[in-house]
Amino acid sequence: MSKKHILYQGAEAEICLSEYMGFKVVKKRRLKKTYRLRYIDSYLISSRTKEEAKLMIDARRSGVSVPVIYDVDLRDGVITMEYIDGKRVKDILNSLSEKERKTLCREIGVNIARLHNNDIIHGDITTSNMILMDDRVHFIDFGLGEKNHEIEAKGVDLHVLMEAIESTHSKYSDCFEYVLEGYKKELEGDADLVVKKIKEIVKRGRYR
């Protein structure tokens, strides 16, 4: 059997490279947090694992690139999935040319719209959670996602990305405008309602 090879240790889970029936796979294991009550902890781990797997399958059906799921273990909070061998958008965005950045951000927006067309809320759309492989953006970590048709949820979803861009790619804050361009193009409903909602959410934050 393969030995444990940690690819990434996140706040919530560890991502290990492993093998599953001859495929190179990633195992995402949610970590037990001893700072919180055991009841809260096991509830969060099993419900988030289940929700994440469901959302990933839904996302794939919506035409968004996500890793293929091979196995789900609710008790230990492990999802076994396809290994995406690419580069994190967070690491490459600042070094792209203006034109490449624009294309990539629009592509990101198109994909978010596809998710939202199917009421899939990612819940943590940051540039750390997008991997570029074979010229396609792959979305990972649906761990905080949910199914929700409300404009509020879609607005909050995009607002998370806006904040991530402002904090991590502050020199390129126009990126979010490009994301919105792609989003508006692809969204089936009225995208302006969502954009309006984002502005409302920004104002709702403290001291805006």
Which residue stretch of 39-47, 63-71, 100-108, 189-197 sits at the interface with other proteins (rule: CB under 8 A)? 39-47
Q: Between 76 and 188, whose beta carbon lies closer to other proteins? A: 76
Minimum gap (Å) between residue 130 Cβ and other proteins: 14
Q: Between 68 and 151, whose beta carbon lies closer to other proteins? A: 151
Name the H helices within 19-150. 38-61, 89-92, 98-117
Q: Which of 4, 5, 36, 185 binds other proteins (CB under 8 A)?
A: 36
- By CB neighbour count within 10 A (0-12 exposed, 13-18 middle, 19+ buried), where does 4 fall? exposed
Q: Which of 76, 100, 150, 166 binds other proteins (CB under 8 A)?
A: 166
Q: Is 98 in the site for other proteins (CB under 8 A)?
A: no
Is 141 in the active site? no
CB count within 10 Å of CB 186 equals 19
Give yes or no for a contact between 179 and 109, defined as CB atoms under 8 angstroms apart: yes
Binding residues for other proteins, how many (CB under 8 A)?
Answer: 33
Q: Which of 17, 33, 46, 57 binds other proteins (CB under 8 A)?
A: 33
